Structure 1
């Protein structure tokens, strides 16, 4: 999810240094060494498997975090219904980031005894928590995080995020099952190239939240359009504050610039604010198309109701039913049956649902293959592992970057979509994949890491 360029969040001071290198990490984990956490590693010999989760469960991203937590609980219930992991039940505890996410992580591992971890809902929290995640040593799988930096291991090319003010922040015990910002912006740039490049020079405007995520997505989509040879000119770029209640000044500025296309990077509540106010101002009647990076979420579409314009191209890490796989339908059915009578959780998976389900299931497979929860063994099983029953289709965790080869999806907003709520959904969905070699070629000269 969105990145934050501040040195720490929630007033938590962290040390900008790498705790241990990979070889030291694996050696220490294999011998039971704890580096200041003696006797506090997860899975302290008890029966059963414990999963800890940290998500934003309040504020702007409350619905996102709640959707991830709901998907994780569905996955755990499904595993326990089938006999658990190695014959042992799985227990899960999920907590809000709160104002000290690092404390929650430590508590889940050291006090709850989490063998493995999932999260988070903020790239800023993730990057700022890197030293803590590495020191805790247990496998930690990201299900909701956008920044490519956190799965970029090439410190020689991009500089070490924790030592040299670089952008490579890959960690030995950290994995990611969702697509990332690099991948999402590539998909949008490719869609623009395929559908609008033959219309001459395109005038493009940008709107996004005024912090690192909005700026980062705008940099990436321009770099990919450049790499793909799209002929365009930027006519406006506006960054309303994160969580702004009034975006009309920025919307009016874009309207005045009269762009052909509008690129946006709003998410969660900001998506609802932007779409509703832009519709009222007539923006969507003026532009040919609008693209959004991670706004394609059923909770957003339900909140917008009949104010959601049709024909906009919103993207996301997952959209229910976009893949035509048996695994996806199985996940949707389980999710809906679990929450059909719940007044607080929409009975339809959110755009983080597929990646969260996958993270829990991959842990099951890795722990069973390892014969236990030893961190070294589980990490070794996860590196290069292919999960065949992912709702989005088969995905592989890259052995070096730990980034999943998951697709991302772009769809067209429509009230003709088959959704179990009053509002628009996605039709004409298209999935996009991207490999590291292609990304490096297209981003050449930009200085941006692929994180793939």
Structure 2
């Protein structure tokens, strides 16, 4: 297997410390809470978009969060219950891989990453990449965390031992969006959608539409536009949507596609003529693309402007802002949540192993059905045989104030309102009337 080129993989020691300096510093430390127990580091492969249209709104914020979390964990600066340095006293080292490219390229990159000796992998924004990589992780017996992708098919259509997703699926986003729309527009008669034509977009549109059939059975779908991922130009789709004139427009667009849609639809007043819900729209609040007033905004969970008032949220926002002069977006929160979940599982396994370094199998046992704290609140891996997190979410209406995006009329939804019970597929739960 050929090693990756330097342009596609870069090993980075946390906080920019030179390898020699790190070795000297680590060798002088001894076992105790607050100092490192040993010099050997735990290597985590971080896979996210570092080039292409998805890098700016997704990959870079996620990578920044990984840097902040790793540096603060290694320094013991993360609030309780994560005050122990590194993972159980062992420092963390990150290895980065660019997610840009085809799914076959990502499978090849994943194999190369494992062959380079990482202990864990945390990655993947694209649902297509998650679906492709998950069986390879199982084949190579490497504990792998999916930090962002949303398709529920990962654990609803398969079962994995080594794969975890400590964040929610897109079912939460789209059921929550439908509930918000039904509440916001009680006289809803027609709705339409523009979503990317692959697993993420297809699942999103199906879940949204099927939920509305339960909540608003007399409402009719009048148009469904499904451009290819990364199409970039949406004038034909916008014309079709304007012609259909739906009461509500749904979109799960993300990354560069979302920014392109906003730029192209704005001058044609699409978002003014139809009440628009952007289930993954929060990232656009951080860029140069201006979100119009009146759009319903989602952040794929209790992230960003919807995050709770807790110590971990205050820490993340303060530490991220101090380093990057910006506030963390939801990809940052989800990367943080995944790394903290891995730390919680590792240290639970370590404690069960008498304080010694746990094996991958012991970490898996500790991770299954884990409940852990995050900047978004308490997270429970209650789905997918204990490998898939279930979360509540929130939506609000965009209101620009002095150049900043804020939200009004925020409504929160509990886990049971937006997530199926264990052992039930999302589509079946929705069609069955959203019952628990």
For 1:41-440, what aligned pairs fall within 5 Å after superposition? 47-63=40-56, 64-82=58-76, 83-99=85-101, 100-111=105-116, 113-152=117-156, 168-197=157-186, 199=187, 202-287=189-274, 289-297=275-283, 299=284, 301-305=286-290, 308-318=291-301, 319-322=303-306, 323-340=308-325, 347-371=326-350, 372-388=357-373, 390-398=374-382, 400-416=385-401, 422-432=403-413, 433=415, 434-437=418-421, 440=424
1:95–1:441 CA distance, 2 compared to 1 (3 A): closer
Kept after mapping to 2: 8 A contact 1:224/1:443: no
1:105-152 CA distance string (max 9 Å, x none) = 2222221x2211101021111111222111222221111111001122
Moved more, 100-109 or 48-57: 100-109
SS of structure 2 residue aligned to 1:191: helix
Residue deviations 1:347-386 (CA, integer Å, cap 9, x gap): 2212122221121112222222222241100011111111
Cα 1:121–1:59 change in 2 (3 A) is same
Deviations along 1:314-347, one digit per CA (max 9) or x if unpaired, are 212243242222221211111111212xxxxxx2
208-217 vs 371-380, greater mean Cα deviation: 208-217
- What's the TM-score once normalised by structure 2's chain length? 0.79
Aligned to 2:21: none
**Which deviations, in whole Å up to 9, do the C-alpha atoms of 1:406-444 show, x marking residues without a partner?**
233322212128xxxx54243443332234239959844
Contact 2:121 2:143 in 1 (8 A): yes
Q: 1:102 to 1:443 in 2, by over 3 A?
A: closer
What is the aligned partner in structure 1 of residue 79 from structure 2?
none
Q: Deviations over 1:180-211 (max 9, x none)?
A: 111111101111222223x1x51111112233
TM-score normalised by length of structure 1: 0.76
How far the C-alpha of 1:223 sits from its partner, in A, is 1.4
Shift of 1:95: 0.9
> Please, which runs of 5 or more residues in structure 1 have no aligned partner?
1-44, 153-167, 341-346
Aligned-partner Cα distance in 1 for 2:369–2:173 = 22
Q: Secondary structure at the match of 1:415?
A: strand
- Check the 8 A contact 1:139/1:173 in 2, yes or no: yes
Assess if the C-alpha contact under 8 Å between 2:167 and 2:338 holds in 1: no
Ranked by relative contact order (alpha carbons within 8 Å, sequence separation 6 or more), the top structure is: 1
Measure the CA separation in 2 of the matches of 1:87 and 1:181. Answer: 35
2:54 aligned counterpart, secondary structure: helix
* 2: CA distance, partners of 1:186 / 1:439: 18
Of 317-326 and 61-70, the range deviating more from structure 2: 317-326
Gapped regions of structure 2 (runs ≥ 5): 1-37, 77-84, 351-356
- After superposition, the Cα gap between the structure-2 partners of 1:286 and 1:435, relative to the gap in structure 1 and judged at 3 Å, is closer
C-alpha distance in 2 between matches for 1:108 and 1:195:
47
SS of corresponding position for 1:254: helix
Aligned positions of 1:15-30 closer than 5 A: none
Q: Is the 8 A contact 1:235 1:259 kept in 2?
A: yes
